Structure 1
Amino acid sequence: MTPRLVLTDIEGTTSAIAFVKDTLFPFAEAELDAFLAARGAEPEVAAILAEVPGPDQAATLRGWMAADAKVTALKSLQGLIWAAGFTDGRLRGHLWPDVAPCLRAWQAGGVALAVYSSGSVGAQKLLFGHSEAGDLLPLFSGFFDTRVGAKREAASYAAIAAQTGQDPAGILFLSDVAEELDAARDSGLMTCQLVRAQDGTVACGRHPAAMDFPEVARQFQLPLAG
């Protein structure tokens, strides 16, 4: 069955794992104190900080950063910090060269596109809106983060299917993480593991696998980039 919607992860799927770990995370940590000092009283930032426990919120946030905790408040704050870097050009969203041509071909061919990442929706839009391949936001019809649920829980994918109005059987989920793919499959989605040599991903053997997006297109009869 040809997918009606392709739901894609970011880190390790469209973008290098190293970009998030070696560029985005260090940028957010380096800018944290200055950002909180300058904008901590703004309503949007204050609402996020209200979800951060402890007398020293900066220390709590740094602890979460060190543990790579999938905490919505942290992800939202990181997204705001990254926004400044993307807006002034200090940051550009990394994409593997095969990604943008395929996304454009799929969308032009009538396949809907959506993103599901543990990074906040704001951060997702920054990466694709300020990517090395230009502004790709118009290609996407939906963005989802941990507010819809954890990525290793089947209910999250059922919720995404309901919100997009798609039959789960018509959705293809792309990720490098086997446990996320397991959860998606448990909700009835098609799955494909991206096994990019540059990221050192190893095929789990439980899902179809592809080295890049053109191989995904061939396996699932999606439009091929010209």
Structure 2
Amino acid sequence: MIKAILTDIEGTTSKISFVHEVLFPYARQHMAEFIKSQYQNEAVTEQIEAIKTQIGDPTASLETIIQTLEHWIDTDKKITPLKALQGMIWKHGYEAKEFTGHVYQDAFDNLTKWQHNGLALYVYSSGSVAAQKLIFGYSDFGDMTALFTGYFDTKIGLKQEAQSYENIIEALPYHATEILFLSDVVAELNAAANAGMQTYQLIRESQPKSQHPNANSFDQITIQP
């Protein structure tokens, strides 16, 4: 019996291209200006210090920090301080209505239905919790954040490690088998299954099928709450 759904974003609820063709380039374009203008902001300073720790250079200049961040963006690194800073930049873009968060129609319809039917919905993405709330808060369908009970990012652990899902299970009031994890990435599904969760693979853009149950859209997922 499924009582909670844990969903990935990129490639699952939303187009992979939205992140890589809209969000990443926007953050890349504005990163240097943002760091130079906001480095004294407490939230930004915290992330800069985390970057210095990450690169092992406690005296790194702002220019080094910027170059590091731009390199991480260019190489698609899943590093927590980068994700946090990207989220801050994206917030400005969303608020300025330069773009809205892409969400598939079938994802919106079924997430709404499942939440209405009493299932608890959670998000787990490599993007920061703040960034997750932005994509759903400024989605193509308006503010969807009320649908979700909670959010998890890489602070809970990396998405391809079973321990991360065990940490999530520990944080939720459900047994592992009562949680259904949705993702397009097989390594993530394997990790979740190894932690005891049920799984479903979304095959949105010709991803190879795996041993996990699979669907081309949320419409094809049958859940008995």
TM over 0.5: yes
Specify which of 189, 192, 209 is matched with residue 203 of structure 1.
209
**Alignment length, in residue pairs?**
216
Task: Give the letter aligned to residue 9 of structure 1.
Answer: D
Cα RMSD, aligned residues only: 1.0
Q: For 1:69 and 1:150, how far apart are their aligned partners in 2?
A: 12
1:212 aligns with 2:220: no
Q: Which runs of 4+ in 1 moved over 2 A?
A: none
Question: Of 105, 119, 132, which residue of structure 2 is paired with 1:124?
Answer: 132
For the residues of structure 2 that align with 1:221 and 1:194, how far apart are their CA atoms?
Answer: 18
Q: 2-side partners of 1:139 and 1:90: how far apart?
A: 24
The alpha-carbon deviation at position 156 of structure 1 amounts to 0.7
CA distances 1:178-226 after superposition (whole Å, capped 9, x unpaired)? 0000000001000000001xx232212x20001100111x2x336xxxx
Q: What runs of 5+ residues in structure 2 fail to find an aligned partner?
A: 53-59
Deviation at 1:37, TM superposition (A): 1.9
Verify: 1:184 aligned to 2:192, yes or no: yes
SS of the equivalent of 2:105 reads coil
For the residue of structure 1 that corresponds to 2:50, the secondary structure is: coil
Matched, 1:221 2:224: yes
Per the TM alignment, residue 94 of structure 1 is displaced from its structure 2 partner at its CA by 0.1
- Return the match for 2:79 from 71, 85, 101: 71
3-state DSSP class of the match of 1:147?
A: helix
Residue 91 of structure 1, CA deviation: 2.0
Q: Secondary structure at the match of 1:50?
A: helix
Partner of 1:7: 6
- SS of the residue corresponding to residue 169 of structure 1 reads helix
- 1:50-65 matches, within 5 Å, as 50-53=49-52, 54-55=60-61, 56-65=64-73
Cα deviations by residue, 1:103-125 (Å, 9 ceiling, x for unpaired): 11000100000000000000000
8 Å Cα contact 1:12/1:176 also seen in 2:
yes
Cα distance in 2, alignment partners of residues 146 and 136 from structure 1: 22
Q: Given that residues 192 and 210 in structure 1 are in contact (C-alpha distance below 8 angstroms), is that contact kept between their aligned partners in structure 2? A: yes
Q: Find the aligned partners of 2:207 and 2:141 in 1 and give their Cα distance.
A: 24
CA deviation digits over 1:126-151, x for unaligned, max 9? 00000001111001001000000010
Aligned counterparts of 2:173 and 2:159: Cα–Cα separation in 1: 19
